[in-house]
Chains A and B, each alone.
Chain A
Amino acid sequence: MRKREILFVGCLDEKNSFAEGFSYAVDLAGMMNENIVALFVRKRKPGRPAGGGDGAPCGPEAVDGPELRGDGKYAGLRKDCRKAGIGLDAFMWDIGSALQMQEFIVARPGIDVVLLSPGITSGRRFTSGELNRFLKAASRPVVTISRQPRGAGRRKKTLAGWAEKEKKREKK
């Protein structure tokens, strides 16, 4: 029996943001009884040919490959999934634009939902225009995971506090 899949899109190029938000993907997959397909993207540098020019393939490359096989962090992800009883297929891809992620979704019809890690939505890898174009083209619901903006809690508190103060003033 094939399970449905959650596509988790993360980054490869920044060590700190590698698979950030992955624990959320594992949680969601567990709740939905689905597997995870992790796609680690790396933005192709301008001028670098589509195929990488150094023998790298054009399309997504399954990550049992050399780049991540021995990587401790990747092994950690696999362990997390195994512990939760969730299947994990991982791919790496040098992509020119965020829009190419839609090609991956089309190629895997079992994908139910796409999760974009904070590393992807931070705006450092893809411009917001690029991401918006992908969101428009995506054929599956896309979940954006972003870090809570600093001070957001405080802003909310201020608003709520303001409302509270107003109510009290009215009562008086």
Chain B
Amino acid sequence: MAFRILVAEDEEITLKHLLYVLQKEGYKADGTKNGLDALGRMEDASYDLLIADIRMPGLNGLDLLARVKRRFPETDVIIITGFASVDTAKEAIKRGAFDYITKPFDLDELIAKVRKIRGQSLLRKKNVSLKTFTGADKKISVIAKSRSMRKILETIEGIKDSDCNVLLTGESGVGKNLLAKIIHYTSPRGENPFLNINCATLSEELLASELFGHEKGAFTGAIKSKQGLVEVANSGTLFLDEIAEMSPNLQAKLLKVIEEGEFYRVGGTRPVNVDVRFVASTNQNVRRFISEGRFREDLYYRLNVMEVFIPPLRDRKDDIEPLGRYFLEKHLPRARKEISGFSKEAMKVLLDYSFPGNVRELENIIERAVILEKGPLITPESLPPEIMMYQIETVEPGRIKTMEELNREYAMKVVELLGGNRSKAAELLGISRTSLWRILREE
């Protein structure tokens, strides 16, 4: 079904121009010069997107937006304003607009935004949860079709009013950084700074100086005093990435900040008081680190008021397709190509692959495929040859699949392939229907 767009714009030339461009892009676009008429048209026919000017006769853009959002919550709205001000834009976003553009607008930018909305609308129709959180600097989108990811988003939603420290765990590339931003921006501290630092990439001395700042002359090269990130993040959130890599000395110092909200700059003699929320992340097994004496147990419990484990992508295969489509829409505008989706074979290759690099790897694979692909669909030829040449499996630390698990996985695959027909699956597997039921029951 074509993506339907209604353009409400009082300037005739702009309206005609917009309609021409949108229709040329293959969208079904209608236009009106009056806000009230736009509302009437919305009632007569269902539109996926409304592009509305702020100043219009009948009903202004912001009021139209509010009414549309109330009556047709599924319709996305882009506001056009010739009177660009941050306040108007903020108001529009607050009332539920997807985005806004300012006059004179860049048509490429508008088309890119429309494409993005179309992609997200498709995902919504496919019952994929796509949450967009508005941060101070940009919008953050999370795609979650799998039950585990939906549950995580629910958990984050549940703690949005709390000020507790959060520990995010999961492998590299699963999206810990993204979730940390969401935790911050949806919290009451959302308007205040969000800073992040990777504890694994800096030496102990440098990390101490970055975190706690230093006084002039504290060490060679400290020619002036400097505020640390803990101080700058005051009243906001500090995200400590790869916390398990922090040295024991710094762990003790950090514990003091968390417990007492107080610390000393490197070389400083006066305490500095701060009010910071900490979100930490690690891809290591912290409990193992604690038992080996490499991580302080007390710090762990202080940070781990709430632990959110983000499962690897291979354990939430349901997310691969919607994420793939999302990244495709994201990278298409830059490549300036017309690719409408994935061929069945390409999607099968992606679904069969175990993604050791998780979502980050998937995004890179799609970005590269968009560049290489010459046809209208992503085909296996534009995917990395290695993932087809080799059978690549990822085994989680300390865990090997048991025969029962392997049997269950295989049985589920066969049942899925046969469209859920268990009798046929049992016949193919050479077991009775009862045995198949027993294998699948173990879930």
Contacts and interface: CB of A to CB of B under 8 A. Distances in A.
Interface of A: 1-4, 21, 23-24, 27-28, 30-32, 34, 109-110, 112-113, 115, 118, 132, 135-149, 152, 159-160, 162-163, 166-167
Across the A-B interface, the 7 shortest Cβ-Cβ residue pairs: A31-B364, A24-B386, A143-B356, A1-B201, A145-B390, A142-B395, A112-B172
Contact of A144 (B395, B418, B428): B395
Contacts of B284: 139
Nearest to B417: A163
Given A27-B384, A144-B393, A160 B417 contact: yes
Interface string B347-372: 00000001011001100110000000
Nearest to B414: A159
Nearest to B361: A31
Contact of B391 (A23, A110, A147, A162): A147
Most buried by B among A2, A118, A152: A2
Contacts of B424: 163, 166
17 contacts: A23-B386, A24-B384, A24-B386, A32-B360, A34-B172, A118-B390, A136-B400, A138-B398, A139-B288, A139-B398, A140-B397, A141-B312, A145-B390, A146-B390, A147-B390, A159-B414, A166-B424
B8 to A, nearest CB: 43
Nearest to B393: A144
B29 to A, nearest CB: 38
Interface residues of B, number: 44
B391 A143 contact: no
Contacts, number: 113
Chain B interface mostly = loop
A109 B289 CA distance: 11
Given A4-B242, A31-B361, 6 more contacts: A3-B201, A4-B200, A23-B386, A139-B288, A141-B394, A159-B417
B392 interface: yes
B50 to A, nearest CB: 38
Interface in B367-396: 384, 386-396
A32 B365 CA distance: 11
Interface in B230-289: 242, 245, 283-285, 288
Interface of B: 171-173, 200-203, 242, 245, 283-285, 288, 312, 354, 356-357, 360-361, 364-365, 384, 386-400, 414, 417-419, 421, 424, 428
Nearest to A20: B390
Given A23-B386, A31-B361, A135 B395 contact: yes
B392 A144 contact: yes
Contacts of A4: 172, 200-201, 242
A109 to B, nearest CB: 6
Contacts of A27: 384, 386
A48 to B, nearest CB: 30
B441 to A, nearest CB: 23
A138 B399 CA distance: 9
Contact of A2 (B200, B285, B356): B200
Nearest to A105: B397
Contacts of B172: 4, 32, 34, 112-113
Contact of A142 (B202, B285, B389, B394): B394
A33 to B, nearest CB: 9
Contacts of B396: 141
A30 B173 CA distance: 13
A1 B199 CA distance: 10
A148 B390 contact: yes
Contacts of A139: 284-285, 288, 397-398
Given A2-B202, A136-B400, A28 B390 contact: no
B397 A167 contact: no
Nearest to B401: A135
Given A113-B172, A159-B417, A166-B418, A28 B398 contact: no
